[in-house]
Structure 1
Amino acid sequence: MANARRTRGKDGDSSINPWLGYTDVLSSMLLIVVLAMGLVTLAKALNEKPPLISLTETDSEAFKFDTGSYGLSQGFLNALDERYTNDIKPTIEAFDVDVIEVIGHTDGQPNPRVASNLDRRLQTVTLQGGLTGLQYSSNAELGLLRAIAVGMYLQSRLEKDQLPVGIRPYSAASLLDLQGNFNPAPAVSDDRTRRRIDLRFTRSN
């Protein structure tokens, strides 16, 4: 044993004491654990910012909503599963976040619907349920419903992996450009880069 030390007995003979070697190993392991915990604490103290993940049509045609729809196609779900495995779950684990903000963005095309029932029906929506019978009358409401739809699916994946992460759906309508700046899209805009879902990772405390 490399770290074993010799001790000298009464007769002057030297012998190996293996316990001193084990003590050195345990001390080194304890030091590594303490250093790792210190690095995690330091990273939190520095408030390292997790990356923003965007689901856009320009990145993948799968992340496309049908015009005026907030339903998720099977292609959308498959692509979201891949992003969850490759990007979303690793980000949660790397940055120790417990909240995902799901933000729905739309283009500037006016919505033809004239009646909305969201004020009466949103109280019945849960992230573990479904979206049925909901009518919207604006891009702000459409962005919110798309965010809720994506949030519902993410919630099911998080619960399956037993990750204690909350979902907060929001709508930005057509107000923010790709850089996150306040820049409302023109009312006649059919800009596919504006139609997206942003995922922001935060901590509740």
Structure 2
Amino acid sequence: MARHLRKIENHEELNIWTAFTDLMSNAFLILILFLLLTIVTSSISQQIFQQNTNNDTPPIIEIKDEGAYRFSSGSANIPPPMLNYIVRRIVPEIEKTTKQYKINVVEIIGHTDGQPNGQVVSNLDLNLEKVVSGKLPITNLQAGSNADLGLMRALAVVKVLRDFQTQQGRLRGLKFRAYSAAQLILPSGELAAIARQDDVARRRMEIRFTRLGEVRQVK
């Protein structure tokens, strides 16, 4: 009888130990699955974040001042091939980008190299508003500096876009702004060092996209 009871006790102990090991194994598997799920979820979230970040950042369109699209030295007159390029290639790209990113302002920034712009006396202070309003052609402006020249070339591109907007009924709802960076910013976005030589790589027009927000003062 005693031997029979010991067998029962040993059998019960074995069953308890087996159940315990099964429980620990299942808990370990659940922990592994939880860790894998956490890793996968984190990876997917990071990919979604990067994708959304990229989608929230519109591209910068660059028109290089070279070849058939090159301005004459010291001039803001747009050559015919460049005019055709703006109308046929740049305008559709602006339409696509502004729609995709819900943009309402297009900024045109003129960049020059570091060559001094001769001994010309600037007349932008006297005539700039008249040119922007269409009372004077842009050829009446005289650039006394690279800052003047960059702004004049940006204004020339803005005029093409505004005329296209008015005459063709496209680019609706967009405002265009002209700015000059003169010789200060390299294509990489870094500040330029002093360099007075001819450098075609630095001469360019940049088209940037932004959204106007509410104007407020920080006090």
The normalised TM-score by structure 2 is 0.66
1:56 corresponds to which of 60, 64, 72: 64
Q: Is the contact made by 1:103 and 1:170 (CA closer than 8 Å) also made in structure 2?
A: yes
Task: Give the Cα–Cα distance (whole angstroms) in 2 for the partners of residues 125 and 75 of structure 1.
Answer: 23
Q: Is the contact made by 1:158 and 1:164 (CA closer than 8 Å) also made in structure 2?
A: no
1:124 paired with 2:130, answer: yes
Q: Is the contact made by 1:117 and 1:136 (CA closer than 8 Å) also made in structure 2?
A: yes
**In the TM superposition, what is the alpha-carbon distance from 1:179 to its structure 2 partner?**
1.3
Task: Give the Cα–Cα distance (whole angstroms) in 1 for the partners of residues 193 and 105 of structure 2.
Answer: 27
SS of residue in 1 equivalent to 2:207: strand
Q: Identify unmatched segments of 5+ residues in structure 1.
A: 1-42
Count of residue pairs the alignment pairs up: 160
Rate the CA distance shift 1:178–1:133 in 2: closer, same or farther, 3 A. Answer: same
Q: Is the contact made by 1:108 and 1:190 (CA closer than 8 Å) also made in structure 2?
A: yes
Rate the CA distance shift 1:127–1:73 in 2: closer, same or farther, 3 A. Answer: farther
Q: Is the contact made by 1:118 and 1:134 (CA closer than 8 Å) also made in structure 2?
A: yes
Bigger proportion of residues as helix: 2
Q: Which moved more, 1:157-166 or 1:169-178?
A: 157-166
Write the letter of the residue equivalent to 2:165.
L
**What RMSD over aligned residues (CA atoms) do the two structures have, in Å?**
2.3
1:133 paired with 2:127, answer: no
Task: Give the Cα–Cα distance (whole angstroms) in 2 for the partners of residues 77 and 142 of structure 1.
Answer: 18
2:191 corresponds to which of 158, 182, 195: 182
Q: Quote the residue 1:5 is aligned against.
A: none
2:172 corresponds to which of 163, 180, 186: 163
Write the letter of the residue equivalent to 2:188.
Q
Q: Which runs of 4+ in 1 moved over 4 A?
A: 43-47
1:143 corresponds to which of 140, 145, 150: 150
Q: Percent identity?
A: 38
Q: Deviations over 1:52-106 (max 9, x none)?
A: 0000146xx2321111110001111011122224422211111110101100000
Bigger CA radius of gyration? 2
The normalised TM-score by structure 1 is 0.71
**In the TM superposition, what is the alpha-carbon distance from 1:49 to its structure 2 partner?**
1.2
Write the letter of the residue equivalent to 1:84.
I
Task: Give the Cα–Cα distance (whole angstroms) in 2 for the partners of residues 45 and 111 of structure 1.
Answer: 40
SS of residue in 2 equivalent to 1:62: helix
Task: Give the Cα–Cα distance (whole angstroms) in 2 for the partners of residues 197 and 185 of structure 1.
Answer: 20
Bigger proportion of residues as strand: 1
Task: Give the Cα–Cα distance (whole angstroms) in 2 for the partners of residues 127 and 100 of structure 1.
Answer: 18
